Structure 1
């Protein structure tokens, strides 16, 4: 941390330094307090690049030999207050008063930030007027027109600045007026389809996916999340197709890495059933298929993750689970006569398993009526603990199994099942639902939702 005295501050202001970045600030209302400089990495993560302590009159300086990556930064102070600043040429100064930051802030030697705060001040003023409850309809329309005119004029005047791209990236596409007739309900539906399709097609028009600075803003993450949440059907084919479309436009390696990571991480363990297929598509095509984007360990981990997840995708046959029952007899799951099979994988000492097990036992009558069987497997190879668990929770109606097998030649116990690698068990309990052919139709379904899920499967069969 660096403490800057008033005299030194004046000296540094006048000194022409060769530092890679030199940002001087004076904040009225700040005294001997920490100030942080950080860049955005999406909207919910910031990367701190420097920390200083202001002097008694709120003066401070960020200065260093490291090259600051360009983008949108924040300068944070007084715990809960901050300002956004554009870092393009990181040699500028600013001052503000904490009693009215937006009105008082002033920049020297920064066209980017001067334009940025001109835009914010004017938009703040206009929307304050528009939101007055007593405003007439005509006045509101006039003000809305003034907003549009100001934005157009501002963008034209600042077209060469990064801040213009920044503001543009935060806007939604404007949908042209529908030219078709609106005489029937069918016409209205056509208009809505037209609006949806246009909006979706042009959603990323204002976002320059070739500019790596967009990674260090809140807007790219927001755009991605909203697009996939609100505009994309949540099935693996649709998600994969739209991901490919976006990535076809993202040629910059840093932007490309960010988009791949954000989408893949969203669908690796997504609660929406079946969407893991999109993760496998992304991992195979963009991690394994484009190794130059990643370090060797990342590609290796992806290969390992795909090897686990891919055989467990919805629609795949359930991998062979080597279990013996309470009498030591091998369990052949493929021969079970149930319409649906619930596979419950647990640890007898797991607290969450002990909470969920009574709920699953309580579904006994419902499962019997629907021809649903339960195969319960302990991941702990301890017969005493396993049998104690079955008795304690009155789970004798289940087909209870454990991965303990006695070698007929040596008489020794052997273990055959790797629950982590074969069934993706990294926490317990884990629930799979299988159909009559023992194909996976559901995975990681909560016990509370099992009844509704079975009903959903029954409805889908009709």
Structure 2
């Protein structure tokens, strides 16, 4: 929990101490957001006619207009620098509203907000694009650069205070003076943004910048008067999405939504399935079953599911997160972006995973030993059971099997037994492998897979499950060298 508070404080520091980087993150200062959503007109966007005159760039240089879509960037258009540093983008088809930047490699980057009005003239010096920018004919970018110029002027003041604070003792007179100056700068920034929001409530700029705000840290108190940091992190996470208008699809074509999603899931949420499921459910309830927010549902559902796809993450029991996402959001009613066959395949895979999640009762398996007799997993009497699923020709199995053999020799007398399940092999290869590796535990193999299908899910071999004394799964997706720690922690809980 302390790490989550540090992450929350880091977000605030980023918001308070630095302006938006060009074409990068858009987390902003801490202003509570309770103003009305922007009223957007439904008129079509006009054909773009964008002229940028940029002094200090080389004539003939290639120029790209780069757009954003969720976490990706794409080239929306291209041209070259003309005489006098003139850069012109003009075509009949409108650009999709969103955040763009004009890129002249190794020479300049120019930020743009593009909405319905796609006619504008801009002029600046490449050595100081923000400070020298002049905009005509486009309100969105007039406001954007008014804000960027304010933040650029504030940035050295924040940097100077941060530098002076280094090494000062907290609570000293100089420390208190500097932190008061920093707080005054933060309030100045809040007032500046709030003034723009109130003056231009229906602009894309306001929707975009408001979405990028971080919430103020609340200060819940314990009975002794100290700040309850655990509750503080909880409230920060609860407030994190307050400024986002989930009906505004333009925001999906800016960096702000992906940046917030990534931080919310990976920095502000503890990386265990229970915490991730709770945080995800809280977010998804803001966008599910609403036609106006369906594009957010699509992005969030796909990004989170792929983030914790079992073969691509080190999260303990990633299957639990995957099953949760598929069973709740990749349904025929909600997954409008996918066809019925894909949905069926995902649901079937999730169902196969669902029976062997951490915390669930361990499925029983009865299969065939090398002599043809039946061996049942839960007939084993040791307090801790290891289900080891392997293939004799698997490279990683060849690495892990000798380690498990050594572990078993040491821990057999300490209350551990192993039930080995061979996969995708044949009788001769299997029995040869047992003899070669010295796997003297219970070994089974079913060439039909009928006795083991749907019991213990395995994406890649080797797969290790650990079953505790109450015959619940206490760990999975681990290496042999992690088994001892898993057992030690489980004993401490008891």
TM range (shorter): 0.7 to 0.9
Q: Match for residue 247 of structure 2?
A: 210
Map 1:346-357; keep pairs closer than 5 Å: 346-357=390-401
1:319-350 CA-partner distances (Å, limit 9, x unpaired): 45564333333332231222222122223222
Q: Match for residue 32 of structure 2?
A: none
Shift of 1:205: 1.3
Distance 1:47 1:423, change over 3 A: farther
Unaligned regions of 5+ residues in structure 2, if any? 1-44, 166-176
SS in 2 for 1:288: coil
Shift of 1:235: 5.5
SS in 2 for 1:153: helix
CA–CA separation in structure 2 for the residues paired with 1:300 and 1:64? 43
Map 1:326-405; keep pairs closer than 5 Å: 326-392=370-436, 394-404=437-447
Equivalent pair of 1:236/1:278 in contact (CA under 8 Å):
yes
Q: Match for residue 14 of structure 2?
A: none
Distance 1:417 1:79, change over 3 A: farther
CA–CA separation in structure 2 for the residues paired with 1:29 and 1:325? 75
Q: Match for residue 188 of structure 1?
A: 226
Map 1:60-79; keep pairs closer than 5 Å: 60-78=87-105
Which shows bigger deviation, 378-387 or 232-241?
Answer: 232-241
Q: Match for residue 253 of structure 1?
A: 294
1:346-371 CA-partner distances (Å, limit 9, x unpaired): 23222222222232223124421432
Q: Match for residue 369 of structure 2?
A: 325
CA–CA separation in structure 2 for the residues paired with 1:459 and 1:80? 60
Shift of 1:58: 5.2
Equivalent pair of 1:323/1:330 in contact (CA under 8 Å):
yes
Shift of 1:233: 5.4
Distance 1:424 1:276, change over 3 A: closer
Shift of 1:175: 3.9
Q: How many residues are aligned here?
A: 427
Equivalent pair of 2:365/2:452 in contact (CA under 8 Å):
no
Normalization by structure 2: what TM-score? Answer: 0.75
Distance 1:382 1:129, change over 3 A: same
CA–CA separation in structure 2 for the residues paired with 1:389 and 1:358? 11
Query: Is residue 74 of structure 2 the alignment partner of residue 41 of structure 1?
Result: no
Unaligned regions of 5+ residues in structure 1, if any? 1-17, 405-413
Distance 1:61 1:330, change over 3 A: farther
SS in 1 for 2:67: strand
CA–CA separation in structure 2 for the residues paired with 1:141 and 1:389? 68
Q: Match for residue 307 of structure 1?
A: 351
Q: Match for residue 208 of structure 2?
A: 166
Equivalent pair of 1:165/1:207 in contact (CA under 8 Å):
yes
Shift of 1:167: 1.6
Which of the residues 80, 91, 105 maps onto 2:119? 91
Shift of 1:123: 0.9
CA–CA separation in structure 2 for the residues paired with 1:448 and 1:80? 51
Q: Match for residue 440 of structure 1?
A: 473
Equivalent pair of 1:312/1:440 in contact (CA under 8 Å):
yes
Which shows bigger deviation, 58-67 or 366-375?
Answer: 58-67
Normalization by structure 1: what TM-score? Answer: 0.79
CA–CA separation in structure 2 for the residues paired with 1:379 and 1:340? 23
Which shows bigger deviation, 61-70 or 360-369?
Answer: 61-70
1:194-225 CA-partner distances (Å, limit 9, x unpaired): 53444333221112122112222222223233
CA–CA separation in structure 1 for the residues paired with 2:159 and 2:91? 44
SS in 2 for 1:375: strand
Shift of 1:452: 0.9
1:82-126 CA-partner distances (Å, limit 9, x unpaired): 443212133334344443333344434322122212212211221
Equivalent pair of 2:390/2:421 in contact (CA under 8 Å):
yes
Give the alignment's Cα RMSD to 1 decimal. 3.3
Distance 1:350 1:93, change over 3 A: farther
Equivalent pair of 2:323/2:351 in contact (CA under 8 Å):
no
Equivalent pair of 2:276/2:321 in contact (CA under 8 Å):
yes
CA–CA separation in structure 2 for the residues paired with 1:219 and 1:386? 53
Q: Match for residue 8 of structure 1?
A: none
1:38-71 CA-partner distances (Å, limit 9, x unpaired): 33233x4223333444457654444444443322
1:428-461 CA-partner distances (Å, limit 9, x unpaired): 222122234654322211223121111112222x
CA–CA separation in structure 2 for the residues paired with 1:57 and 1:323? 80
Distance 1:225 1:369, change over 3 A: farther
Higher relative contact order (CA 8 A, sep 6+): 2
Which shows bigger deviation, 289-298 or 425-434?
Answer: 289-298
Query: Is residue 236 of structure 2 the alignment partner of residue 199 of structure 1?
Result: yes
